[in-house]
Structure 1
Amino acid sequence: MGPRGRHLPWLPLLALLVLPPPVRAAAARPNFVLVLADDLGFGDLGSYGHPSSATPHLDRLAARGLRFTDFYSSAAVCSPARYGPAAGRERGENEKILNERTNPEAESQPSRARRVSQGPCQNLTCFPPDTKCFGTCDQGVVAVPLLWNQSIVQQPVSFPELVPLYGRFCREFIARCARLRLPFLLYYASHHTHYPQFASREFAGRTRRGPFGDALAEFDDSVGQLLQALRDTGLDNSTLVFVTSDNGPSTLRMARGGSAGHLRCGKGTTYEGGMREPALAYWPGRIAPGVTHELASTLDILPTLAALAGAAPPRVALDGFDLSPLLLGTGKSPRRSVFFFPPAPDPLRGPFAVRLGKYKAHYFTQGSFHSDTTPDQACHGLTPLTPHLPPLLFDLEADPAENYDLLRGQPGPEALQALKDIAVLKDVLQQRLHFGDSQMSKGRDPSLQPCCSPGCSPKPSCCRCAPQ
């Protein structure tokens, strides 16, 4: 499929890198498979406690690999969360990083064509044979295209056929690298389980969790296929597989929005449910099975992979740390703190919250429409920005749900010292961060909407094409 003459299917959301040969002779370098789910909550996997999720491949990976309990995304919403693992830096350190606002319309800006929720949902099929996507999206914009590099090959995309195409590409890519004996990085940024959910015929209507569960089961199967491809090519013992999510669940969608488990709130907030994610690391013979309570973040992915590949890190100051000692059982995580930025950060307030060790201080809190419908009003979109002086202080080991502010009682000397140390960390960070302008605040340009027939009329309804 794809452009004429190519055998590989279309690839809008897979990043591939064949690593260059080493400069001097060295032991064979590992391969890397990085899988990033979309809006998957801390409590959505069976291995993280969900009683009815059908995730056998991920649960088996968790049992045979390293499962993280305190792993964080670098942001609470989709677009900036993808910057963290790619750059290893906090968002404010890139002058052109996207500031994504906490309102439901931000999920479907025309300039963000990768969003599965963009386009008129009633014109999109999410489940075979012809079940339309649930809900409504922006009207008067083009439908979601499917891209091969920079070429549109289908518009609107056929969601029930999408993940099988991704899977075939991944398997062929792994087989080709194995045949040529080339080390590689495969970055699979899945659409699942973002709203509106979809699934192929094999998974539609097959789970106890409804459409969300069907999408989750297809995601789980896609990970299983990657693992099988590594086994089939004899690369499983030389490949690190890492699976996590970009941010917490969109509880606005209720049963279609995922679960944060026992954590507070979800997507769009700086509470634990917005940024603490499931994370699994698997490397047979190198990573011992187990559970770690060490702090880690998507910011740590870049420096960790660079260290394991024997590559020089970027020539910029990174906010991430090399986790290879933790993964390989030779040491602990060097990470001691986590900063929680809101979807639209600014230099005046800086991070809304800071975690140091087991303590977390909230200097500001704000609800998000992404986290509506839960019983907790603090999560809701109409809950305004609220400063806290003194900050709210939680012991996340004893109270991961952030229910009991220690400063309302009689905090011990350890907690009070942690609060002082957190204040210093926050000040130091804000002094060195440079915040760029929000790209979304510059408005919309309809001419930038991707259309498979650029000269057609009338737009956007004429922007429709089938694969050749």
Structure 2
Amino acid sequence: MAVVSYIGVLCLLLVVATSVGELSKPNIVILFADDVGYGDIGCYGHPTSSTPHIDKLASSGMLFTQFYVGSPVCSPSRASLLTGRLPPRTGVYPGVFQANMTGGLPLNETTVAKLLQEVGYQTGMIGKWHLGVGKNQKYLPTNFGFEYYLGIPYTHAQCPCVTCFWPNDPCLVNCKPYFTGCPIFHNNEIIEQPADLLTLNEKYATAAQNFIAEHSSRNQPFFLYYAFQHCHAPQFAGKQFRNSTLRGVFGDSLAEIDWSVGQVLEEINKQGIADNTLIFFSSDNGPSTQHKAEGGAAGLLKCGKGTTYEGGQRVPGIAVWPGKIPAGVRTAELASTMDLLPTLVKLTGSELPNTTLDGFDISSVLFSGGKSQRDTFFFYPQNPRHDIGVYAVRYQQYKAHFYTEGASECGRDNHDVDCRPSAKLTKHNPPLLFNLNQDPSELYNLNTDKQYTDILNHITQIYKHHVETMDWTQSEILKPTDPYVEPCCTPGCEPFPSCCQCHRSNPYSMPSPHVLQIP
């Protein structure tokens, strides 16, 4: 009898220990905006943006002033975030996935969601995926470690856009009327098509709150990747945000992002888990200035989306974890979205994937104000070519441009001729050289100043070694297109694509008390 009791006590202790171990793992929330530039948010200096919740995040944690994404455009940037790898390694190049493309993020790529799932995390993704759909939805998030998904799998600019603001304001961009209507997926099933942009973000925010509430109530560690459709053109927002800011339609869309961030923070505080939750906010690339005032701002940085100048890839980066990450800190340490995977692996006790990573563990920066392990960053263009390779290299505070090129996303009449699409691919020998600590706008080329000869030669050696050793994966974006892989909730219907319409209930996304079960 004593032996039985002893075994029972041991079992109980093991259960308790396991529970405590699970609880000790921090919850992780990544908030990822779309086309929000370095100069768009209040805490980064914009005078008329209404971003009180994001600003509060910054004052509660660490604001990065030199934070980069893996690409100046959407799909490869998102692949880099989730895999910790540069675009040539993932095959997500050139450009971005379209609704009718048959490729996607390779299924053998290991995402941070998959790694966290393997150590007991409940994983969910809400919002814009943009890493492919494919035949039979083979490339959706549920095939990459996410147990739950709610969202449009690409930008809403790849759908027919009719109404973007309340009550009946037409969209400022024509979008793509030849594709099917924007589908909202719940896991692998389309529940709404076309999506109602006026209520979309409310659905997303409510789903995020319910996901947090559900797993908090079960004492399960969770990973939530919330990727906003905002502020990609065409700008859109619900009724309460129309004409709500001094900044016009972009400001209204940005205000809706900020409200969503506030909803997430409110739920985290309501569940009493703030002290055990790491939150990271960033954006996928710089602003799309081709849309002028409706396209965002890079602040003092040069150019924007689509380019390898600073405005294309340096973005906001804010990390918050009360009691762990010091509050109100601005850091000039070099970091990237690619650093999140190795950092989270170390933090959660998971294992690094057996592949080449381009990210570094930045725990020392986050938790002790130390130096970053990263001293180098490689800038690949939106359309990388194997025969050219990387366009620019940053080493410490110095950046060398071996190639430059403008981009359509910056606009034909951009005030800076270097940003315009008319600025053709140009090789620089010697490379252009800038000291970004003193000249973040990349105005003053130093390559003829003899005192910088040694640093320029050193960066050139880094460049050559990187080009020679980079392993390129075959492009997924160049795979054949097929109109019948476009998501349609009524497959085989006619006339295609306008016949693809449905509205099915998804209780997890509806505004209701947080008592819902995850499907």
Per the normalisation by structure 1, the TM-score is 0.90
Match of 1:396 in 2: 436
Matches within 5 A, 1:290-439: 290-329=329-368, 331-372=370-411, 373-408=413-448, 410-412=449-451, 415-439=452-476
After superposition, the Cα gap between the structure-2 partners of 1:367 and 1:107, relative to the gap in structure 1 and judged at 3 Å, is: farther
Q: Tell me which of 73, 80, 83 is aligned to 1:84.
A: 80
Counterpart secondary structure, 2:456: helix
2:298 corresponds to 1:260 = yes
Q: Which is worse superposed, 273-282 or 138-147?
A: 138-147
After superposition, what is the alpha-carbon deviation per residue over 1:298-319, rounded to whole angstroms, capped at 9, x for unaligned? Answer: 1101011111112111122311
Matches within 5 A, 1:233-252: 233-252=271-290
Match of 1:187 in 2: 225
Matches within 5 A, 1:20-419: 28-94=24-90, 97-101=91-95, 109-111=99-101, 114-121=154-161, 124-289=162-327, 290-329=329-368, 331-372=370-411, 373-408=413-448, 410-412=449-451, 415-419=452-456
Unaligned runs of at least 5 residues, structure 2: 1-16, 102-131, 133-152, 506-519
CA distance in 1, matches of 2:32, 2:66: 17
The Cα of 1:89 is off from its aligned counterpart by 1.2
Match of 1:449 in 2: 486
CA distance in 1, matches of 2:18, 2:396: 38
Q: Which is worse superposed, 301-310 or 269-278?
A: 301-310
CA distance in 1, matches of 2:473, 2:159: 29
The Cα of 1:86 is off from its aligned counterpart by 0.7
The Cα of 1:276 is off from its aligned counterpart by 0.2
The Cα of 1:107 is off from its aligned counterpart by 7.8
Counterpart secondary structure, 1:35: strand
The Cα of 1:329 is off from its aligned counterpart by 1.2
The Cα of 1:130 is off from its aligned counterpart by 2.2
The Cα of 1:219 is off from its aligned counterpart by 0.2
Counterpart secondary structure, 2:240: coil
After superposition, the Cα gap between the structure-2 partners of 1:278 and 1:330, relative to the gap in structure 1 and judged at 3 Å, is: closer
The Cα of 1:229 is off from its aligned counterpart by 0.8
CA contact (8 A) 1:73 1:246 kept: yes
After superposition, what is the alpha-carbon deviation per residue over 1:32-70, rounded to whole angstroms, capped at 9, x for unaligned? Answer: 110111000000001111010000011111112100000
Match of 1:460 in 2: 497
Q: How many residues were matched structurally?
A: 437
Unaligned runs of at least 5 residues, structure 1: 1-20
Counterpart secondary structure, 1:332: coil
CA distance in 2, matches of 1:354, 1:263: 17
Counterpart secondary structure, 1:354: strand
Structure 1 residue ranges (4+ consecutive) displaced by more than 6 angstroms after TM superposition: 21-24
Q: RMSD value over aligned CA atoms?
A: 1.8
After superposition, the Cα gap between the structure-2 partners of 1:397 and 1:228, relative to the gap in structure 1 and judged at 3 Å, is: same
Counterpart secondary structure, 1:406: coil
Match of 1:3 in 2: none
After superposition, what is the alpha-carbon deviation per residue over 1:119-143, rounded to whole angstroms, capped at 9, x for unaligned? Answer: 222xx32112222222212232212
CA distance in 2, matches of 1:229, 1:73: 28
CA distance in 1, matches of 2:173, 2:357: 40
CA distance in 1, matches of 2:414, 2:235: 20
CA distance in 2, matches of 1:330, 1:27: 26
The Cα of 1:437 is off from its aligned counterpart by 3.0
CA distance in 2, matches of 1:450, 1:27: 39
CA distance in 2, matches of 1:185, 1:120: 32
CA distance in 2, matches of 1:362, 1:169: 43
After superposition, what is the alpha-carbon deviation per residue over 1:340-383, rounded to whole angstroms, capped at 9, x for unaligned? Answer: 00011122221100000010000000000001132001101121
After superposition, the Cα gap between the structure-2 partners of 1:242 and 1:361, relative to the gap in structure 1 and judged at 3 Å, is: same
CA contact (8 A) 2:42 2:50 kept: yes
After superposition, the Cα gap between the structure-2 partners of 1:338 and 1:466, relative to the gap in structure 1 and judged at 3 Å, is: same
Match of 2:135 in 1: none
Give, as a single letter, the amino acid of the residue that structure 2 aligns with 1:173: F
Give, as a single letter, the amino acid of the residue that structure 1 aligns with 2:479: K
Match of 1:16 in 2: none
Counterpart secondary structure, 1:249: coil
CA contact (8 A) 1:75 1:342 kept: yes
Percent of matched pairs sharing the same residue: 43
CA distance in 1, matches of 2:19, 2:352: 16
CA distance in 2, matches of 1:439, 1:330: 39
Give, as a single letter, the amino acid of the residue that structure 1 aligns with 2:471: H
The Cα of 1:22 is off from its aligned counterpart by 6.5
After superposition, what is the alpha-carbon deviation per residue over 1:438-464, rounded to whole angstroms, capped at 9, x for unaligned? Answer: 333334211111111112111112112
The Cα of 1:24 is off from its aligned counterpart by 9.8
CA distance in 2, matches of 1:130, 1:462: 22
After superposition, the Cα gap between the structure-2 partners of 1:86 and 1:266, relative to the gap in structure 1 and judged at 3 Å, is: same
CA contact (8 A) 1:108 1:119 kept: no
The Cα of 1:228 is off from its aligned counterpart by 1.1
Q: Which is worse superposed, 386-395 or 442-451?
A: 442-451
The Cα of 1:241 is off from its aligned counterpart by 0.5
CA distance in 2, matches of 1:173, 1:140: 34
CA distance in 2, matches of 1:364, 1:22: 53
